[in-house]
Structure 1
Amino acid sequence: MTGLKNKRIGIAADRSGDSIARLVANMGGESTVLPIQGKQILNEDTCEQNLTDFLNEDFDWVILTTGIGGRTLGESAQYHGLNGAFIEKLGKENLAVRGSKTVNWLKENNLSPHIISEDGTMKDLIERLSYQERKGRVFLQAYNQDDVLLKHSLEDIGYSVYLSKPYSFEAPVPNLLDELTSEIISSQIDAAIFTSKTQVRNLFAAEVDQKDLIEAFNRDVLAVAVGKVTAKELEDKGIANVLQPEKPKMGAMVVELDRYFRDHAPAGSN
């Protein structure tokens, strides 16, 4: 018997929600997809200005914090007929990146980073940048979460920062957020899966008693994160037990979830 049999899983992810639901179903579980990421918005004018500045100005480092960010800048460059110049200049820059999706986007364009966050976090990336003898000016791709904090963190260790925000996120659909919140607090689901810290922040920003959410997670509902960044956001909210896979992959996460419920099955169940 699989650990997910007779288990009901809430999925907060957007684009990968249906794929995760299929993985859960393949292991005998049920799921409800309630995406609370919020719609991604392309900041077209900002993106064009960022590209123009990047191509015309000098930078010592380029920091890409998300795969979406790199891809969005690349698509905008292509739209404006600047893709060749954009990729060519990136190839000459010192690149510092976090996240497997960012690395994959670079590989698609035959680019190699000089520094990669070992654990996928910005904390590790900034620490690695702090050891660089040459600081200088940074082109920092971020979005509307933690952008100011990241900028200040880099300035504190000696960098001058140009902040690029090619995209942002809208607030999630209220009824989806309300439904997921209700299912967690009332323990109608056995686990809730999160694939980004944005989803966690949106959940806890809802007009609900955060204490009720935390108590539900620490009592009945298992919090599941795809990777360290998301897991840390859950832990920072006061959730004591957060499950995450060794490698930040969707499939590995569901396998780990299945294993968890098998290991914690009541004695005598089969």
Structure 2
Amino acid sequence: MKGLTNKRIAVAADRRADAIQNLIENMGGTSISFPSQGRQRLNEEVSRQNISDYLTQSYDWVILTTGIGARTLADSAYELGCQGAFIEKLNKDQLAIRGSKTIDWLKENELQPSFIAEDGTMENLLEKLKEKLDVNNNPHVFLQAYHQDDAKLKKDLEKLGCTVYLSKPYSFEPPIEKTVLQLKKKIKEQTIDAVVFTSKTQVINVFQDLGARASLTESFNDGVLAVAVGKVTAKELESHGIEYVLQPSKPKMGTMVVEMNRFYQNRTISAQ
């Protein structure tokens, strides 16, 4: 029997939600979509200014934290007619990279990073960067950040003695409140078996209401399986007191669903 047979799985993802739902249903499950990310909003004017500043200033390090951010900057460079200069400068600069999608973008443009966060987290990236920074020379850093973490990341780098240029080429609008409330209701009532999260933002949006956090955590610890696509998302779930978070060995959506299917298969075998 397929592991997800008779399982009701909520999907909090926006992007590629259809593909995740199809995989779940192919493995016998019932999927329900509760998009909790919010619409992506490109800050085109900001991105163009970021490109102009990057090309006219010198930086000791360039930190790219998301594939979306890197692609948005590259698109702005194309619109400005300087994509070649942008890629050429990146090729000469020291690149610190986080995230599999960012790595994919680098490969597409034949760029080599100086180092990559091994576990996909900013904590790991900053630890590795500490070993390489020449703090005595006030290193200048171009930081492409994610809007919910930008202030903290900038502050952490400044504590290391860096002068930081903050690039925010995109952000996310709040998700539809009714959709998030419906998901929270399903979790609290335990009328779903699992919730699939594919980003830290989705977790933040679901747990945003202080008054609901304890009951959500209780439901996750009492039968609703929390599923994360990777370590960053899993860490955010764990920060809310969730004792067990299922995550794949590789941060891929397909691998995540396969791992969830195996989890329920093993549970069925153990119960026999």
Q: TM-score range by the shorter chain?
A: over 0.9
1:208-247 maps to which residues of 2 (within 5 A)? Answer: 208-247=211-250
1:170 aligns with 2:173: yes
Q: Which amino acid counterpart does residue 110 of structure 2 have in structure 1?
A: N
Instruction: Compute the displacement of 1:81 (Å).
Output: 1.2
Q: Corresponding residue for 1:9?
A: 9
Q: CA deviation at 1:266?
A: 7.0
**What does residue range 169-188 of structure 1 map to in structure 2 within 5 Å?**
169-188=172-191
Counterpart of 2:23 in structure 1: which amino acid?
A: L
Using the alignment, how far apart are the partners of 2:119 and 2:160 within structure 1? 20
Deviation at 1:208, TM superposition (A): 4.9
CA distance in 1: counterparts of 2:85 and 2:258, whole angstroms: 43
Alignment correspondent of 1:190: 193
Worse-superposed segment, 230-239 or 173-182: 173-182
1:60 pairs with 2:60: yes
The letter of the residue matching 2:226 is: A
What TM-score do the two structures reach when normalised by structure 1? 0.97
- SS for the counterpart of 2:132 is coil
Q: Is the 8 Å Cα contact of residues 67 and 102 (structure 1) preserved in structure 2? A: yes
Residues 177 and 206, structure 1, Cα contact 8 Å, conserved in 2: no
Q: Does 2:33 align with 1:33? A: yes
Aligned pairs for 1:30-179 (under 5 A) are 30-135=30-135, 136-179=139-182
Per the alignment, in what secondary structure is the counterpart of residue 96 of structure 2?
A: strand
Q: Give the TM-score taking structure 2 as reference length.
A: 0.96
- Distance in 2 of aligned mates of 1:113 and 1:78: 22
Give the count of matched residue pairs. 269
The structural deviation recorded for 1:134 is 2.8
The Cα of 1:268 is off from its aligned counterpart by 6.3
Separation in 1, partners of 2:80, 2:133: 36
- 1:180-213 deviation per Cα after TM superposition (whole angstroms, max 9, x unaligned): 1111111111000000000000001147521110
| Counterpart Cα distance in 2 of 1:268 and 1:132 | 51
Counterpart Cα distance in 1 of 2:72 and 2:86 = 12
Aligned to 2:20: 20
**Could you tell me how far 1:265 is from its partner in structure 2?**
2.0
Distance 1:108 1:266, change over 3 A: closer
Q: 1:214 to 1:80 in 2, by over 3 A?
A: same
Name structure 2 gaps, 5 residues minimum. none
Check conservation: 1:9, 1:191, Cα contact below 8 A: yes
The one-letter code matched in structure 2 to 1:203 is V
Q: 1:268 to 1:139 in 2, by over 3 A?
A: closer
In 2: Cα distance, 1:247 partner to 1:180 partner: 26
The percent identity for this pair of structures is 56
CA shift in 2, pair 1:225/1:47, >3 Å: same
Q: For 2:233, what is the secondary structure of its paired residue? A: helix
**2:33 is matched by which residue type in structure 1?**
V
**Letter paired with 2:218:** E
Supply the distance in 1 between the matched residues of 2:187 and 2:269 (Cα, whole angstroms).
22
Query: In the TM superposition, what whole-angstrom CA distance separates every residue of 1:40-94 from its partner, at most 9, and x where no partner exists?
Result: 1111121111111000001011000000000010111111212111111111110
Secondary structure at the aligned position of 1:85 is classed as: helix
| Distance 1:263-1:88 versus aligned 2 partners, 3 A rule | same
List alignment gaps of at least 5 residues for structure 1. Answer: none
Evaluate the alpha carbon distance shift between residue 267 and residue 60 of structure 1 in structure 2; reply closer, same or farther with a 3 A threshold.
closer
* In 1, Cα distance between equivalents of 2:29 and 2:212: 29
Contact 1:48 1:76 survives alignment (8 Å): yes
